[in-house]
Structure 1
Amino acid sequence: MLRRTTVDTEQVPAADRFEMWLDAVARAAAPLRIHSEHAHDFAARVEIVELGPIRVINYRYPSLEGVRTPKLARESAPEIYTLALTIDGDGAASQAGRSSVLGPKELIFYDGSRPHGVRHLGDDDGREPARSVVAIIPHAALPLPPDRLAPLFVGRMSGTEGIGALLTQFLLQIARHPEQYHAGDAARLGAVGLDLASTMLGRHLAAEDAVPNEVRRRALVTQVRAYIQRHLGDATLSPQVVADAHHVSLRTLHRLFEAEESTVASYIRELRLARCRHDLADPGLRGQPVQAIGARWGFPDKAHFSRVFRKAHGVGPQAWRAGQPEEAAREVNPVASTVNPAEAD
């Protein structure tokens, strides 16, 4: 399981909760001077997940205002960027004379080491908690020079379109379900998050050339994989369809996957077979015909499904199902994406 640190202020007396929160924020990101009308009983929770080069933080807290003053910036300069996603409530941030107001599913990016201000109001005029997911990224980890990034500070970015949507779902999946991943996955997952963030920032700069080719390639591979998972049940899904959906040639798509462990076609086939195996082993689906399960995952032709399955596993799908114990339904999908395909639109 990924390493997760949790701080829940409701585990201590009300009088100690706000101080506990200030300390948690300082250790998770950087010290802030925080004001809240709920300081007398600050019921809040923070979960910190370490992903190699980056840190993903899942926050829930009452309405508050925070300022990183010049004095605090001089005393501690952790050299970090902050990429914050608002989940519930309304947020705002300011830095270097610029400010933005943002709502749910919007991203904001700023230099967490320099002076800045943040405000987050929960629903119902602050009575309900605010929620956000934040990625803490070291300056040295982004392949973009700081002076190029400055125009993006406290600028709003959509978390529902394009790369921003994919990054949003990545952050939400990691923040909400870190138990689904092994500790050994942390560095690779961190690299995926960095690639997505770098590509999104590069596009907002209208200077994609500033993003290294390999970073853009890996980000596009992640985008293609998420697209395939969303459309896996479509029997017409093919490498050409995938290429057209991403406005690249079929040859470019194949080159894109040259550094991967499988071709586009084999990735689609292996993922479909993995989903079929899962459903065939599920006791709750024993009443469903094998043909219906195959059709659900892109194999509408019964004979073709049987041939492909037999070639991969040595037996047909019916015989494979008959030989599976009930606990096989809990099989971990070896080719699952880090992004929940049902939410990646």
Structure 2
Amino acid sequence: MQVAPPDSSVRRWTTDAVADEQRLDYWVGAICEAFLEMGCSSRAARRFDGELTSLPVADVVFNQVISSTQDVYRTPTAIARGGAHPYYLITQWRYPWQLRQGGRLLQLRPGDAALVDSAQSYELHFPEAVGCLSVQIPRFWAARWLAMPESTQARVAARDQDWGRMLSALCVQLGQQPLLARGYPAALLSDHLGALLAAALEPAVTSGLPASGRQALLERARDLMRQRLDEIGLTAERVAVELGVSVRTLHRCFTAADASFAGTLRRLRLEQARAWLAQPRWARVGVGEIGRLCGFPDPSHFTREFQQAFGQTPARWRRTTHG
């Protein structure tokens, strides 16, 4: 039985809805319904606890999984019966776990992010418990971001290496609080995830542009972003189309400069808002309206982002600046 939360776009399953002796069977049905056909066993079967929350964001789906210890199997028979075979980006935030695919057993730490191809058999082992974010990624979306999406083995972005740090931080945060995704434009968050995934898994793949060309493209992109800061939901795809380049090329130029499209857009918006708040000619324009003109979807989002960046609310910044 699926439990309906207040937000109809969010799906939720919980073993609290069934009797103790039915919990593991219920859980197997829940993960097959939310993800795809898989087998599951647990040494805690007699008192199994599990909760699964599924939140669609643009083309991907964020799934928070919290449960007792378990072992999950994706078999050739299940693969043959299935239709679509998405990828899953899996990140545990608290417990170590194991992943076997393509004859290789990986020992993964909390925070490591692993990209698993459901078109290939795999095993997931959670010896202590499950507390993870599993992002369901369609194959067309993966091909948009990764030059080499298909692999017979899982690919890992380590929590303490290069762009893996940022990918890990994003996955851990959204794993623990998936509804935070509601505070950001869906397309922008989806693009940000794709850019981080590409940077973490394929750091050696370049955009094909020389360094001078990448710098020139970055400058053109930043100029265009400044001109269109008021567009709520401005995405890298729109900017790339206007610049006449692919989305992948645009993101790899940002990555080469140790930056990201989403992070740069956020910084430009906050810098513009701070500048306007300091100018007397904007004194009669409300704080919320300034945030909207800089592309923030609502006043609370603007206040939260501004305070995080500058250590005080926009209203307090304005009062302090104007004396």
TM-score (norm 1): 0.62
Quote the residue 1:78 is aligned against.
Answer: 84
Q: For residue 155 of structure 2, what is the aligned residue in structure 1?
A: 155
Matches of 2:133 and 2:28, distance apart in 1: 17
Quote the Cα distance in structure 1 between the aligned partners of 2:48 and 2:165.
32
Amino acid at match of 1:258: D
Matching residue of 1:334: 302
Q: What is the aligned counterpart of 2:284 among 301, 314, 318?
A: 314
Which has the higher Rg, Structure 1 or Structure 2? 1
SS of the equivalent of 1:89 reads: coil
Q: CA deviation at 1:147?
A: 8.9
- The match for 2:206 is 208
Going from structure 1 to structure 2, the CA distance change for 1:110 and 1:316 (only over 3 Å counts) comes to: closer
1:48 counterpart residue number: 54
Change (3 A) 1:36 1:188: same
Counterpart pick for 2:14 among 1, 8, 12: 8
Deviation at 1:336, TM superposition (A): 6.3
In structure 2, runs of 5+ residues without a counterpart are 1-6, 230-263, 288-297, 311-323
Aligned pairs for 1:285-304 within 5 A: none
Cα drift, residue 150 of structure 1? 4.1
Native 8 Å contact 1:30 1:78 kept in 2: no
Aligned to 1:138: 138
Partner of 1:259, secondary structure, is helix
Structure 1 equivalent of residue 224 of structure 2: 259
What is the TM-score when the length of structure 2 is the normalising length?
0.66
- Indicate if the aligned counterparts of 2:145 and 2:198 stay in contact, CA closer than 8 A: no
* Contact residue 37 and residue 64 of structure 1 kept, 8 A: yes
RMSD, matched Cα: 3.7
The code of the aligned residue for 2:280 comes to R
AA aligned opposite 2:221:
L
Superposed CA deviations along residues 46-78 of structure 1, whole A, max 9, x for unmatched, are 111101211111111111111111111111142
CA offset digits 1:271-329 (Å, max 9, x no partner): 5479xxxxxxxxxxxxxxxxxxxxxxxxxxxxxxxx82434333899xxxxxxxxxxxx
| CA shift in 2, pair 1:140/1:314, >3 Å | same
Which of 89, 94, 102 is matched with 2:95 structurally?
89
Greater length-normalized contact order (CA 8 Å, ≥ 6 residues apart): 1
Distance 1:58 1:180 in 2: 12
- Return the letter of the residue paired with 1:254: E
Say if 2:42 and 2:69, in contact at 8 Å, map to a contact too: yes
CA contact (8 A) 2:52 2:64 kept: yes
Alignment CA distance shift 1:180-1:62 (3 Å): closer
| Structure 1 gap segments, 5+ residues each | 123-128, 214-247, 275-306, 318-329
